[in-house]
Amino acid sequence: MKNRTLALAGVFQSAELVRQAANHGTWSGYAASAMLRSLFILEPRSIEDVYGDMAKMKLGVEVLLSVLQGDKRYMESLQYAIAMLKVERNLRKNRALQNHVGEELERIEREAPREHENADEDALAAQAAELYSQTISHLSPRIIVHGKPQFLQSERTVSWIRTLLFAGLRSAHLWEQLGGSRWRLMFGRQQILQEAEQLLTG
Tens digit of pLDDT per residue, the chain (202 long)? 889 999 999 999 999 999 999 999 999 999 999 999 999 998 889 998 999 888 899 999 999 999 999 999 999 999 999 999 999 999 999 999 999 999 999 999 888 765 545 458 999 999 999 999 999 999 988 999 999 999 999 999 999 999 999 999 999 999 999 888 777 777 778 899 999 999 988 7
How far is 37 from 2, CA to CA, in rounded Å? Answer: 20
Which has the closest alpha carbon to 59: 10, 5, 125, 3? 10
Q: What's the pLDDT at 20?
A: 98
CATH numbers and ranges of domains, the chain: 2-201 (1.10.3890.10)
Distance CA 25, CA 159 (A): 12
Whole-angstrom Cα distance, residue 150 to residue 111?
Answer: 32
pLDDT digits (tens, 9 = 90+) for 114-168: 554 545 899 999 999 999 999 999 998 899 999 999 999 999 999 999 999 999 9
